[in-house]
Amino acid sequence: MTNQPESVLFKPSPDGGGQCLACAHYCRIPEGKTGRCGQRKVVNGELRVPRDIVAGLAVDPMEKKPLYHFFPGETVLSFGTLGCNFHCPFCQNWETSQVGQDPAALGTARDCSAKRMVDLAVQNGSRAIASTYNEPLISAEWTAEVLARGQDAGLKGCLISNGFGSKEAWDRLNPVVDAINIDLKCFREEGYRRLGGRLAPVLDAIRRWHGEGKWVELTTLVVPGFNDSDEELEQIIDFIAGLDVNIPWHVSAYFSAYRMPAEPRATPPERLQTAVARARQAGLRFVYTGNVSGTDTHDDTFCPGCGVVMISRRGYTVRSNAVKRGRCPHCNSKIAGRFDD
């Protein structure tokens, strides 16, 4: 069933509608209508939300999320539903994320219970379950249930999110989330407005999850003409460095998708190289590139103390992992992250 009554993240109003509390939009939804995500709908005075469905389901490498410092080399059962609270014109998964907002988005979902997903994760020897592919906040209540069931089975809980959440949703998810990758899409209010959001709630989310001791990694898709100026990339770097130089930052190349113009078709490799160099100069210890191949990749994890390669990667594959009890075996420097002993 795609839409079941849910009252946890909803404040009903006397007129039969109500306010959705799942994200920082705090949509006021009239009877019979949906919020900005196109999925959370008020029917007969009740909020109906996606649950017991998946539009995407796969066993992925942890590195694909990307979570490079969270049990590297392990696998994670990844699932997603439909809808998003943003409408990014460069969305890579728009066929499912924009269902309910864009008539051209024809992605579909199939029935799948939380129990079935946990069973699949256990059968495949996965370390964690991740809500990903679309924005987890759209099905925040069900996502919390899935991760809680996974927690009972010894599985870690992960979110891959745009970070535009409400306090109420983060409170709901906090007990069952161990790691989160947040897309820090740009550092200008104008840029976030174009995507359908605001910058401040995203920065607040990053600060909150980090402050509460959850494992946090950040991703920025570097889109030519949108967020690739030296000034904006340096603002992102300064923000991360001011919070914690141990937070991994993934800078990924953009390829033409959805509604963005066909030109330029991709992020120039030198733009990513510049971002990596400037981030390292600012003190960030773990900076990686994504969506690139060949000699321009930055996939390996280096010890911040002695510079020796700790984790060697090729694409999503971990070729070797020298980290011992969270430390470098050569100089005993701590390697930030979550690792097996």
- Concatenate the DSSP letters of all residues of 283-315 into one string: T-S-EEEES--GGG----EE-TTT--EEEEEET
Over residues 108-146, the pLDDT tens digits come to 999 999 999 999 999 999 999 999 999 999 999 999 999
Structure tokens at 119: 């069973």
Whether residue 85 contacts residue 165, with contact meaning beta carbons closer than 8 Å, is answered with no
CA angle centred on 264, ends 262 and 265, rounded to 5° = 65
Domain ranges in the chain?
4-49, 53-298, 301-341
Q: Which amino acid is at 68?
A: Y
- Can you tell me the mean pLDDT for 48-52? 94
Number of CB atoms found within 10 A of residue 115's CB: 11
Interacting residues of 24 by C-beta distance below 8 A, sequence separation 6+: 164, 165, 166, 197, 198, 201
Whether residue 18 contacts residue 43, with contact meaning beta carbons closer than 8 Å, is answered with no
Over residues 79-88, the pLDDT tens digits come to 999 999 999 9
Three-class DSSP category at 235: helix
Kindly report the pTM of this predicted structure.
Answer: 0.96
| Percent of the chain residues topping a pLDDT of 90 | 89
pLDDT attached to residue 266: 85
Helix (H) or strand (E) holding 253: strand 249-253
Whether residue 50 contacts residue 142, with contact meaning beta carbons closer than 8 Å, is answered with yes
Q: Look up the CATH number of domain 53-298.
A: 3.20.20.70
Structure tokens at 55: 């539009």
Distances (CA, A) of 301 to 259, 318, 323: 35, 10, 10
| Percent of the chain residues topping a pLDDT of 70 | 96
Over residues 248-277, the pLDDT tens digits come to 999 999 988 888 876 667 899 899 999 999
Q: Which strands, in side-by-side order, build the sheet including 317-321?
A: 301-302, 309-314, 317-321
Q: For the chain, first and last CA: distance in Å?
A: 42
Three-class DSSP category at 137: helix
Structure tokens at 169: 């949703």
Number of CB atoms found within 10 A of residue 308's CB: 13
Number of CB atoms found within 10 A of residue 254's CB: 22
pLDDT attached to residue 288: 97
Whether residue 124 contacts residue 59, with contact meaning beta carbons closer than 8 Å, is answered with yes
Distance of alpha carbon 107 from alpha carbon 307, whole angstroms? 45
